[in-house]
Amino acid sequence: MSHAFAVDRAFATVAFKRRLAYKTQWMVALVLGGGAMLVSMAMWRYLLADGALSGYDWDSMRAYIIIGFITATVVFGAADWNIADRILDGHIAVDLTKPVDFQRARAAEYIGSMASTVPTVVVGVIGAWLLFDPPGPASPTAGVLTAASFVLVFPLAFGITYMTVLVCFWTKRYLGVMWLREALLSFFSGMMIPLAFMPSWLQAIAWALPFPHFTTTPAAIYLGHVDTAGALGLLAAEAAWAVGLWLGARLVFRRAVRKVTVHGG
Amino acid sequence: MADTIARDRSLTARHVGGVYGRALVAQIRAITEYPADFWVMASAGVMWNLLQFAFLTVLFATVPDVAGWSYHEMLLLSGLLSVAAGSTALLCDGVWSTGQMVLKGEIDYRMTRPAPVVVQVATTHIGMQGFGEVAFGLVMAVYGWIGAGLGLAAAPVGVLALVCAVVIECALVTAFCAVNFWIKGPMSNFAFMLIDLQNSAMTMPLGLFPSGVRIVTMFVVPVAFVNFVPVAVLTGHLSGWWLVGTPLAALAALLAAVGVFRLGLRSYDSAGH
């Protein structure tokens, strides 16, 4: 068991260091995430100048947008391309001969790469805090539970990403798959607009998907839109999605791996 | 003599046009070999626009306007930007590979061929998402056009705006990708930042932002002339005189792209094998 964890740690560390080596990406991620955050702030400051809309006032919206920035930076900055490339260029044939579980090894690498976005998150959040002075969490318990929901974003993001990357067994490119996933995640997570603004039928669709746990769940807990029992329920749903996607991906992989194509020789 | 020069120039233009057309047709043939990839990419292009449409629809169910702009006016804003961005994917997507080609020395043999390097680089790829972006962008733009009460009388202005938007967008992406001639790297980070920030900020009325943003987007990197200025003129938010700036911005962007790419080629020193 300890050997398996040592392998996980080694994969995560290598992925973390590899990502940290590309320091330009820190700047790019900060400009992109920071730019989107500033645009959102400008729009909502105008719209909420006269009072609250759909349960959000300017104070709570500032915190909401910063939470969206944190999860977007961590999720969109991870190294999903590395997994896709291994399938597309046939390296997976070599991986399958190794005495490590393919999914678990990719999970360790993916989470290592997510951790490498933390410096960007820290700089962005400090800047946003200084510029916009958002309110703190609704209570100390809400703060702790928000942190827990951020931690659960890591396995959840891997589950969704890995499941979609497996489509590469049937396609020759990954870009379109990634864009489709990112589009759905941006909208149904509430990053583009809080779910509370959506009609009830669209909210129902969103809550039937794993995406709201990327922004709506941590924001609802942080802002006190749910009580402690409600927050624990949301965290349980988030964890259930992470476990369900992990097991579901195993089933898909078993079928997908029969399609592996290795070019050249 | 003047006739000879004129004939040579027209032959050159025809030759370049022929090379460009044949290269794009070859790329389209390649696309048809991978139908799954085509449909995934085209769907991704549609999906982003569909969700932008949904975002505006959801937002305007709660608010009457954003900085004085109505729902249909903002649809027109998003639709025009989407058509312009999708067109770059269809017409010059290969420029995104400029950085890779510079790193690997792949510009070398393109310099020896009898066609402009920028044309050869631009046609090495087609972004299949462009089909979805252009198609749904046109749907959004037409829906916004009709909803904003614009009639057929304004159609010539709309066509001018569309043509200029495509030229400006293609030129800016080419120029920003050419930065990789000097700042070496496989990723076209500057062009990527331009497109991403444009998608965030230019789907909103410029009145929301500080004056510095307005000055930069109009007079430094003229992305405002892709969609904001023409739509603002059409819908009466800006005076008609601003429309003169749109073809001027297109010309300036085109000259800048050609100039930056030429300077880049001069500084290109291959991969050093």
Residues A167 and A155 sit within 8 Å (Cβ to Cβ)? no
Q: What are phi and psi of A56, to 5 degrees?
A: -115, 125
Each residue of B24-71: pLDDT tens digit?
999 989 888 888 888 888 888 899 999 999 999 999 999 999 999 999
Q: Categorize the per-residue pLDDT at B4 as very low, low, confident or very high, splitting at 50, 70 and 90.
A: very low
Residue A22 clears pLDDT 80, i.e. is over it:
no
Whether residues B44 and A28 touch (CB distance < 8 A) is answered with no
| Of residues B40, B201, B209, nearest to A176 (C-beta) | B40
Residues B201 and A39 sit within 8 Å (Cβ to Cβ)? yes
What domain count does chain A have? Answer: 1
Whether residues A198 and B59 touch (CB distance < 8 A) is answered with no
| Of residues B51, B62, B196, nearest to A183 (C-beta) | B51
Whether residues A187 and B55 touch (CB distance < 8 A) is answered with yes
- Chain B residue set in contact with A, beta carbons under 8 Å: 34, 36-37, 40-45, 47-48, 51, 54-55, 58-59, 61-63, 66-67, 128-129, 185, 187, 189, 192-193, 196-197, 200-201, 204, 208-209
- Distance CA(A64)–CA(A36), nearest Å, equals 13
Whether residues A176 and B129 touch (CB distance < 8 A) is answered with yes
Residues A175 and B41 sit within 8 Å (Cβ to Cβ)? yes
Each residue of B68-107: pLDDT tens digit?
999 999 999 999 999 999 999 999 999 999 999 998 899 9
Domain span at A111: 2-259
Whether residues A183 and B44 touch (CB distance < 8 A) is answered with yes
b/e for A126-149, b at 16 or more Cβ within 10 A?
ebbeeebebeebbeeebeebbebb
Residues B257 and B178 sit within 8 Å (Cβ to Cβ)? yes
| Of residues B128, B189, B201, nearest to A39 (C-beta) | B201
Residue A148 clears pLDDT 90, i.e. is over it:
yes
Q: What percent of chain A has pLDDT over 70?
A: 97
| Of residues B66, B129, B193, nearest to A31 (C-beta) | B193
Q: Give the per-residue pLDDT at B185.
A: 78
Range A66-87 average pLDDT = 89
Q: Residue A264 falls within a domain, yes or no?
A: no
Interface test with B, best of A19, A27, A179 (most B CBs within 10 A): A179
* Helix, strand or coil, per DSSP, at residue B69: strand
Average pLDDT, chain B: 90
Range A98-118 average pLDDT = 91
Q: Residue A45 falls within a domain, yes or no?
A: yes
* Helix, strand or coil, per DSSP, at residue A96: coil
Q: Residue A30 falls within a domain, yes or no?
A: yes
Q: What are phi and psi of B23, to 5 degrees?
A: -65, -40
CB-CB neighbors (< 8 A) of A42 in chain B: 204, 208-209
ipTM over 0.85: yes
Residue boundaries of the structural domains of chain B: 2-267
Q: Residue A39 falls within a domain, yes or no?
A: yes
Whether residues B54 and A187 touch (CB distance < 8 A) is answered with yes
Give the CA angle between residues A222, A227, A230 to the nearest 5°.
100
- Look-up of token digits 């400006």: B168
- Distance CA(B67)–CA(B57), nearest Å, equals 16
Range A104-124 average pLDDT = 90
- Look-up of token digits 């070496």: B184
Q: What percent of chain B has pLDDT over 90?
A: 71
Q: Give the per-residue pLDDT at A265.
A: 43
- Look-up of token digits 């190794």: A98
Who has greater pLDDT, A117 or A20?
A: A117
Rg of chain B on CA atoms, in Å:
20
Q: Residue A154 falls within a domain, yes or no?
A: yes
Q: Categorize the per-residue pLDDT at B269 as very low, low, confident or very high, splitting at 50, 70 and 90.
A: confident
Distance of CA B60 to the CA centre of its chain: 28
Q: Residue A226 falls within a domain, yes or no?
A: yes
CB pairs under 8 A between A and B: 98
Each residue of B191-238: pLDDT tens digit?
988 998 898 899 999 999 999 999 999 999 999 999 999 999 999 999
Range A59-85 average pLDDT = 91
Residue A233 clears pLDDT 90, i.e. is over it:
yes
